[in-house]
Amino acid sequence: PSMLCVEDYIDALLWAKSIGGLDALIARADANASTIDGFVDKSAWLGHLATDPATRSNTSVCLSFTDPDVAALD
């Protein structure tokens, strides 16, 4: 592998450790997902592709357009 890739990976690991490790990374992902959920909840034109909250990812967000005008373009 490219040594630049290895250095990037090491840098990412050091950063993760500096903010508190795995627990901090999970907390950041959960907080970001919560922010997106709040935005979607207030939106009249956007929804979660996974309608069941138990099946949503907090690191790979999948949204759908719910506006009838957009749906009519299909």
pLDDT in tens, 22-47: 999 999 999 999 999 999 999 999 99
**20 lies in which domain range?**
3-71
Number of domains in the chain: 1
Give me the helices (H) in the chain, please: 3-18, 21-42, 68-71
**Can you tell me the distance from the alpha carbon of 25 to that of 20, in angstroms, rounded to the nearest whole number?**
8
* Average pLDDT of span 2-9: 94
pTM: 0.78
Two tokens at 24?
């901090």
